[in-house]
Amino acid sequence: MYQTVVLDKMHLMRNLLQKAIRQIGRRFVSSYSQPNPLLHPGEVEAQRRYGTFLPLQGKIGSIIKTRLEPDYAEFVGRQTFFFVATADARGRCDCAFRGIDEKAQKAGYPALIIENETTLLFPDYPGNGLYQTLGNLMTNPHIGMLFIDFSTRQRVRVNGRAEILEDEAEAKARFGPSAQRMIRVQVQEILANCPRRIPLLQHPV
């Protein structure tokens, strides 16, 4: 009989331990399996599939910023060129280079203006007349911007929503006589990447 009581107690303790483990597991999953709102479902699926979802929990906010903090603003504000990615309403993508007009640069005009910590402004100069970037923005306001300084191997990515400002006089006042209009970007995400695989390029002396 003594042996039976001991076995019953051991069985009870095992059941309690298993229940506690299940509760802890549920709490862990509840706390760490919910995706960060900055991530879209595709990013979450990729992270889960390739094993980075749980390691990244609690770190997303330090990787993806939603405002141009001073160091990001300083870096972005001194660049003289950048790349923009847009897509039409069907998701067909286009990538374009945006550089400062040479005459505007010599006259001291910037390549872009940081209006505040969540807003960027850059000019639209005359081009080939296809208006692929602006045409995309007219049907899909999402925009990606990539800033790279090849001399220091630094890069920053900015994602947001863009609108076209048709005030030509204001564009010329802020970006020089060649500017025809401006694009204002409401910043949603800012990411700084490491220098890996960025070639080190120096300006010729």
Contact 177, 115 (CB under 8 A): no
Nearest to 99 by CA among 135, 128, 71, 124: 124
The reported pTM is 0.80
Retrieve residue 192's tokens.
Answer: 């700084």
Residue-level pLDDT, tens digit, the chain, 205 residues: 555 554 566 666 777 666 655 554 445 444 456 778 888 899 989 988 998 888 887 888 888 999 999 999 999 999 999 999 999 999 999 999 999 988 999 999 999 999 999 999 999 999 899 999 999 999 999 999 999 999 999 999 999 999 999 999 999 999 999 999 999 999 999 998 888 899 998 766 5
Going by their DSSP bridges, the two strands 142-149 and 119-124 should be labelled as unpaired
Domains in the chain: boundaries: 2-59, 66-193
Class of domain 66-193: mainly beta
